[in-house]
Amino acid sequence: MRYRINKGFIIQKLDNKTVIFDGEESVLYTFNQTASEIFRLLKKGLTKEEIIGKIIKKYSAKKEKIEKDFNELVSNLKKKKIIKTA
């Protein structure tokens, strides 16, 4: 499954964090380093499996932890209408 970033958000990379501004709701979201990396890979059009594989390699993390983080982030991004399924 691939995801698409919805239009209307201002996305800025600051150091190793990502900041997303929702002008319609006047809300600012800030992602930590791992969430920023997941979001960057989502923007590139990678699948869940590809993203999880890359994050595991990059951070030497456990698959269960990365899957949980990925699912939570994607769920929150969908709720906030930042992303949708492509």
pLDDT at residue 29, rounded to an integer: 95
**Domain residue spans of the chain:** 3-85
Q: How confident is the model at residue 68 (pLDDT cuts 50, 70, 90)?
A: very high
| 31 has pLDDT over 90 | yes
Task: Please check whether residue 19 is in contact with residue 11, taking contact to mean a CB–CB distance below 8 angstroms.
Answer: yes
Residue 82's pLDDT band (cuts 50, 70, 90):
very high
CATH of domain 3-85: 1.10.10
Longest dimension (CA), the chain: 38
Picking from 82, 86, 72, the residue whose alpha carbon sits closest to that of residue 6 is: 82
